[in-house]
Amino acid sequence: MHTPTSVRLDRELEARLRAVAEAEGVPLSEVLRRAAQHYLNETGGSLRVRLADAIGTVRSSGGRAQRTGEGFKRLVRRRL
């Protein structure tokens, strides 16, 4: 079952998407679902989502590992 979702599109993008839907004989919602799925397949989602299981799992009592972990967290935050 699909959950209704509201998305705001600029007029040009909406017109292009509607043209694709009409040409393929499918509802606009199907074109949007396909586009969202394609995006996730191509990007794998955000870096934070892809690394969620790994971030914060290693603990250290100090030294280089601690500094490296803090540096890694800063790097990830900057790239998100």
| Full-model pTM | 0.55
Q: What is the pLDDT of residue 54?
A: 75
CA distance 8 to 3: 16
**Cα Rg of the chain (Å, integer):** 20
Domain ranges, ordered by start, for the chain: 9-45, 46-80
Q: What is the pLDDT of residue 63?
A: 65
Q: What is the pLDDT of residue 62?
A: 60
pLDDT digits (tens, 9 = 90+) for 8-66: 999 999 999 999 999 999 999 999 999 999 888 877 767 777 777 777 776 666 666 66
Neighbours of 9 (CB within 10 A): 13
Q: What is the pLDDT of residue 15?
A: 97
